[in-house]
Each structure stands twice: as C-alpha cells, then as structure tokens.
Amino acid sequence: MTTHLSVARTLDHCTVLGPGTRAVLWVQGCPLRCRGCVAAETLPFEGGTSRTVAELADWLCGLDGIEGVTFSGGEPFSQAGALAELLDAVRERRPDFGAMAYSGFRHEALRRGGPDRLALLQRLDLLVDGPYRAARHGSLRWRGSDNQRLIPLTDRYLRALAEPDTTAGIELSVDADGSLSWAGVPPAPGFREGLEEQLAARGFVLHTEARRER
C-alpha cells in the first residue's frame, strides 16, 4: 500500500528553520490549538495536498545544496509513521541526510507514545518541543517561546546548538505563481498581522500558507 502524507506546504531551501540550509515540509493538521498560532490554516486535518512518500523522497533527494529537512506544521507527530518512512527512503540514497522536527508535545510525552512516534524520534537529529505560549514569546533561535526546548537526539548539531541563542530571523520568498510567502520564527508576537498590514498598504497580498510561531 502506498503511504501518503497530507502536506500544507514545502520549501526547497531555508536557512532560518534549523542548522544550515535545509528543505522544509509543513504537514497539514494539528490536534493542538495554541493561542497565538499564526498558521491557523494548517490546523484542520481537512485540506492540504496528498503527497506520496515516494514523491516526497524524490523531491528531497533531488535538491542540491541542502544538508537535511525540517518537519513543521501542523503537527508532524500526527503523521509520524509516514515521516519516519520518508526519512528511511531518503537515507537509502542520501545516508548522511539530517532531520529536525517541531512538535507541540513535550519530548517526554512523545517518548511515551505509540510505535510510529517512537520511530520518528529515533530518526531525528534535533527536536523543538512544547506548545507555543504567547505570554512567553522570546527572540529565540528556531522557536517562539521560552518554554520550548532544542533537544539534540544525536550529536549531529551539537556545534550549532553551542552558538548564541538569538533569533535566526525571517525569510520572504516569491513563489512561482507570484505570491509572497515567509518562513521562520517571528522574533516578536503579532508578526503576521503587522506584515499583512504593511504589505496591503503597498498593494501586496501575503500567501495564506504562513507558518506558526514555533
């Protein structure tokens, strides 16, 4: 049986959601409802685009100049089995491919989860865990609030984690259809609203597949 993932968005090259230059895959669907989420469109499990694991593996293996992938969402651990299968398929061709994921669940809770969640954890190099808390927003590296943790699951990114814990910033990009989108973790709350207002004043419309503050 062909395994599918429900995907909200993909990005070929990104430097603000993990170490180095990476691809990013945002899954569709999240069981959590963190107040202040700036990507409400990724929360419903309905919607998204159905993509096969084989198709996504071909995409990742065909990208030059990246050292790994970051899974965001949505909630990656809601599709943990398929993401674990995806990493296995990629590493058959690119054995040194890195993997990082965000989760609104704490690491301890994920370790008590089912076999799919454990399988994904075992294949990750770095985890950002915990729900976004608007009251604890901070200008932090790769995460939105100071309750969230950067947890190394292998030694691959230890050197990167020793660097200053300050925001990696935001990247804006123009998609093939001319729409504007962004990636990253906003250094201040209310980023999406402020950006949309400034763009609207200049006649631009922000692509709706924005990212959550986490």
DSSP symbol at 36: T
Q: Does the pLDDT of residue 212 top 60, yes or no?
A: no
Instruction: Dihedral sign for Cα 185, 142, 67, 42, please.
Output: negative
For residues 8-28, give the mean pLDDT: 96
Q: Does the pLDDT of residue 206 top 70, yes or no?
A: no
**Cα distance between residue 130 and residue 43, in whole Å:** 16
pTM of the model: 0.90
Please give the pLDDT value at position 180.
76
Length of the chain equals 214
Greater pLDDT, 41 or 122? 122
Instruction: Specify the residue for token string 């994921």.
Output: 101
Structure tokens at 111: 């370790």
The model's pLDDT over 129-150, given as tens digits with 9 standing for 90+, comes to 999 998 999 999 999 999 999 9
The β-bridge relationship of strands 137-140 and 126-129 is: unpaired
For residues 56-81, give the mean pLDDT: 97
Alpha helices in 62-190 (DSSP H): 80-93, 107-111, 115-123, 158-161
